[in-house]
A and B are shown apart, each in its own frame.
Chain A
Amino acid sequence: MLLLKILYAFLVVGILGGVLGAALVVASKFFSVSKDERIQQVEDALPGANCGSCGYAGCAAYAEAIAAGEAPLTLCGPGGAEAASKIAEIMGQEVEVSDRKMVAQVHCRGTKETTSYLYAYRGLKDCNAVHALFQGDKECKYGCLGLGSCMKVCPVDAISYDSGGRVVVDKDACISCGNCIEACPTGVMQFVPYEADYIVACNSKDKGAAVRKYCSVGCIGCKICEKKSPEGGFKVENFLSSIDYDKMGDRSEAAKGCPPKCIVRVDSLIKGVDEKA
């Protein structure tokens, strides 16, 4: 009796497995979808972050578009030059790539203590939402609104608050997809080269006197940076200093001499420490 049960058990499971397996094999032939094998190769060459900055719904979709000849090969920001050249090899084409990795950084150091606000905001926790109300609750209409719309769209969680409550981007984690730059309503989120040592952490194009009134760490357009570090690539336009990173000169003198201390070291940003230049 027991032996019979064991026999039945073996038979039933074995036959069931066999029948189901055979059925699946038949079905797979019936429902087969022919795939260009280059699609998988291209997909493997992409970083797989599925960030969407290429404009396609994920790396698989972009790979398909490339294989179908519908998409340019250089749309992948995170993949950069490396991915583009690999894909070019797979597709048997040539590409022109620039090798400079760009990372996003927040060009604003304002906090509740150093900047003035026009109203108290108690709405949706979204920068674009508060921006719809008089371009934000800060008096400075160019500054970081701090509600984290950039954090929500970052596929690798590279953006966070530092100890002072400012929004900072970890440049080592940034994959250059550009989602945060699109999400930012005031334009404080901008690309800088990965090797950039300093940034001008301000985005305000208001006159110096006006900036002084509403923010103690904003750029007043005094041009001291241009004078102190003439080879550093500083240029003041519209009362705002910016850095031309093709110039490789020293920038530390400008940082030391900047009155509102808005020229900051990128490396110190992620630790939440204000560089005492």
Chain B
Amino acid sequence: MSYLGIIITFVFINNFILTQFLGLCPFIGVSKNLESAVGMGFAVTFVMALASFATWAIYHLILVPLNIEFLQTITFILVIASLVQFVEMVIQKISPPLYKALGIFLPLITTNCAVMGIALIAVQNKYNALESFVAGIAAGLGFLLAIVLMSTIREKLDNEWIPKPFRGVPIAFITGGLMALAFMAFDKALLNNLLG
């Protein structure tokens, strides 16, 4: 698939949160205000881009030649956990305010299904190194898009008359559901129309 195709697929058609259900925990947990949503979105994109490249390398350069593909899950998660730890250190050094703002959610990127998900999907789709990297960035941007949209909606919802049982998590889910409905407009036809 062409690189543009990959980007459109992972940002819109197969948006990780709104179509694939990957990355839901921070989507519900971190989307209360815009700043933390943006910070989280960029941190996740950064990790996803590096992770998809690193896991491609591990899979194709080590696991496949030695015929031990079954180690995929273990090695991928090891790489991702280390990468998140590394990113945490870098952010703490470069931008302490961002580090404080993200707080506990930074180490939680390790258990974010989206990062592991893109690594596994890239391998499944048999992408080469650059395609994996691009897919990682695109998926991260899709995540960023969804979480930023969600946070702006939630900020407005804070001031509305919501029935008590629905306040907080339930209304967030329903909002997400409506967003997912809207995103259904992006399907394979979009890809065909844009790329001919």
Contact = CB atoms under 8 A, between A and B. Distances in A.
B92 A12 contact: no
B82 A23 contact: yes
A24 interface: yes
Interface residues of A, number: 25
B78 interface: yes
Contacts of A125: 159-161
A70 to B, nearest CB: 16
A57 B100 contact: yes
Nearest to B93: A31
B159 A124 contact: yes
Given A33-B93, A124-B160, A60 B100 contact: yes
A259 interface: no
A16 B76 CA distance: 10
Interface in A41-80: 57-58, 60-61
A17 B100 CA distance: 29
Q: Is the interface of A mostly helix, strand, loop or mixed?
A: helix
Contacts of B194: none
A20 B71 contact: no
Interface in B66-105: 66-68, 70-71, 74-75, 78-79, 82, 85-86, 89-90, 92-93, 96, 100
Contact of B79 (A20, A27, A129): A20
A93 interface: no
Contacts of A152: 158
A61 B93 CA distance: 16
Contacts of B100: 57-58, 60-61
Given A5-B68, A9-B68, A152-B158, A16 B89 contact: no
A98 interface: no
Interface string A7-25: 0110011001100110110
Q: Range of interface residues on chain B?
A: 20 to 34
B63 interface: yes
Contacts of B90: 31
B168 to A, nearest CB: 11
Contacts of A12: 62-63, 66, 68, 71, 75
A57 B96 CA distance: 13
Contact of B92 (A33, A58, A124, A126): A33
A28 interface: yes
Interface of B: 58, 62-63, 66-68, 70-71, 74-75, 78-79, 82, 85-86, 89-90, 92-93, 96, 100, 158-161
13 contacts: A5-B68, A9-B68, A20-B78, A20-B79, A23-B86, A24-B82, A27-B86, A31-B90, A31-B92, A32-B93, A33-B93, A124-B159, A125-B161
